[in-house]
Structure 1
């Protein structure tokens, strides 16, 4: 039952459009909150809350670089997510349409 509970929690995380979009963005490259805020045209607290849930669910990693925290996908030991990630649309075009996204 533990595996089912874990999978159910993961599916709950994936049931949100914003979180799925964040995962699609992170599939392309690691990003800081300000990058995601800019691309999704939403607020920093909103994105931070979604990233917090994804991190607690073990779906993203965070790495601190000076004052910024960068997020990346954590798909290790999550074979059940591979098919979901393959279904997410590419965000390359959306990323390329934004210039100078870095927080620096």
Structure 2
């Protein structure tokens, strides 16, 4: 299957968005996991509004999707997004970040909102 090249302006937009270390780490975590805002707050040790702002930027371009489960919203990587093949190539170059979620599990703070 031939992969369509991404337009230069779209590539620049995605790279600018993922140029933020927090957002890049979030996307890497979401590559294999669903996460709630509270988990990101715990991982990055920043405020809930700050995490929500990062997620909103990723959601606005369709890189992440949200699913409501009860009163909580869980985020995951949107693999159907037109930019996903481009993002996927970037993610392949990055070290695994799942240890951050394992640390939350060990501390008993994984999915603290549920």
Task: State the TM-score, normalizing by the size of structure 2.
Answer: 0.82
Match of 2:93 in 1: 87
Indicate the RMSD between aligned Cα atoms, in angstroms: 1.6
Structure 1 residue matching 2:46: 3-state secondary structure = coil
Unpaired runs of at least 5, structure 1: none
Greater Rg by CA: 2
**Per-residue deviation, 1:52:** 0.2
TM-score normalised by L of structure 1:
0.89
* Pairwise CA distance, 1:27: 1.6
Does residue 1:31 correspond to 2:58, yes or no?
A: no
Matched residues in 1 for 2:42 and 2:100: separation? 11
2:25 equivalent in structure 1: 21
Contact 1:54 1:60 (C-alpha < 8 Å) held by counterparts: yes
How far apart, in 1, do the equivalents of 2:17 and 2:60 lie?
A: 10
- How far does residue 19 in structure 1 lie from its aligned partner after superposition? 0.4
Structure with greater helix percent: 1
Q: Distance in 1 between matches of 2:94 and 2:34?
A: 16
**Equivalences for residues 1-104 of structure 1 within 5 A:** 3-76=7-80, 77=82, 78-99=84-105, 100=108, 101-102=110-111, 103-104=113-114
Structure 1 residues 45-101: Cα deviation after superposition (integer angstroms, max 9, x where no partner): 110000000001111000111111100001323211121011222122221111231
